[in-house]
């Protein structure tokens, strides 16, 4: 693979790994709450979608004859498996499970934001710099999908939107409530942004949460 394409592939693989990491955090919190039920639900979901890829170098696990297809498949499986586990958990444990998922997303977003802060390569003093950092951590389809359109790009404010939410097609496969998932992603974004720079906040518009087909987001300096 070329040096350029190799960088893109490793970048995607890293972001897929962050979703797996978050899924495991949800499981850990669920296990503390409902013990064997969480274990049974995880086993059920893994039987359908498979267990996460082992934590190995990309070169050791990727299909070198179909690199693009392999990465796309991993995105689909990883996002669908996490969503399916959240659905099964909330179906079994109700509001308590929802609270666990919210806490896990917020905590994981914060952890990723703190990690980004230690890297020294992001401009955490501007909204556009924070948006760039966020896109290095959040999994949002393949680069060719181009799901987001930035409508405002200023030092103190970035607004972006998209006609579709790329994760929705995988949420639909899991039959999970898409509004719940959007709220959870909002928790992750908010945790990431504030951890990277507490002077900035992340918000979703009300229309997004009501199921408006245009998903709007903003990072703003307070």
Domain boundaries, the chain: 3-221
Concatenated DSSP letters for 47-78? HHH-PPPPS--HHHHS-TTSHHHHHHHHHHHH
53 pLDDT more than 90 = no
The confidence band for 212, taking pLDDT boundaries of 50, 70 and 90, is low
Residue tagged 């039959």 (tokens): 175
208 pLDDT more than 80 = no
1 pLDDT more than 70 = no
pLDDT at residue number 157? 97
Backbone angle region of 177, left / alpha / beta, with phi > 0 → left and psi within -120 to 50 → alpha: beta
- Strands in 51-165 per DSSP E: 149-153, 157-162
By C-alpha distance, which of 119, 105, 66, 73 is closest to 202?
Answer: 105
Residues 55/17, Cβ–Cβ less than 8 Å: yes
The CATH code of domain 3-221 reads 3.90.1520
The confidence band for 30, taking pLDDT boundaries of 50, 70 and 90, is very high
- What average pLDDT does this structure show over 212-218? 76
Residue 219's SS3 state is strand
What are the structure tokens assigned to 128, written together? 């556009």
> Each residue of 115-151: pLDDT tens digit?
999 999 999 999 999 999 999 999 987 655 566 889 9
> Each residue of 166-204: pLDDT tens digit?
788 999 999 999 999 999 999 999 999 999 999 999 998
Q: What is the pTM of this model?
A: 0.91
Q: In whole numbers, what is the pLDDT of the chain averaged over residues?
A: 89
């Amino acid at each position: 693979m070329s040096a350029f394409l190799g960088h893109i592939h490793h970048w995607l693989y890293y972001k897929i790994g962050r979703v797996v990491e978050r899924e495991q955090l949800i499981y850990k919190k669920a296990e503390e709450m409902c013990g064997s039920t969480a274990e049974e639900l995880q086993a059920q979901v893994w039987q359908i979608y498979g267990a996460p890829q082992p934590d190995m170098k990309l070169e050791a696990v990727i299909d070198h004859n179909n690199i693009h297809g392999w990465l796309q498949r991993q995105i689909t499986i990883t996002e669908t498996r996490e969503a399916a586990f959240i659905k099964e958990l909330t179906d079994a444990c109700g509001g308590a499970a929802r609270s666990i998922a919210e806490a896990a997303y917020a905590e994981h977003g914060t952890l990723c934001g703190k990690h980004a802060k230690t890297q020294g390569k992001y401009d955490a003093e501007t909204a556009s710099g924070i948006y760039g950092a966020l896109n290095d951590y959040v999994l949002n389809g393949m680069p060719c999908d181009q799901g987001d359109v930035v409508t405002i790009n200023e030092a103190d404010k970035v607004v972006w939107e998209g006609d579709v939410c790329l994760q929705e097609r995988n949420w639909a496969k899991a039959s999970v409530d898409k509004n719940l998932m959007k709220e959870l992603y909002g928790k992750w974004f908010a945790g990431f942004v504030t951890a990277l720079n507490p002077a900035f906040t992340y918000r979703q518009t009300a229309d997004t949460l009501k199921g408006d087909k245009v998903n709007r987001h903003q990072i703003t300096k307070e």
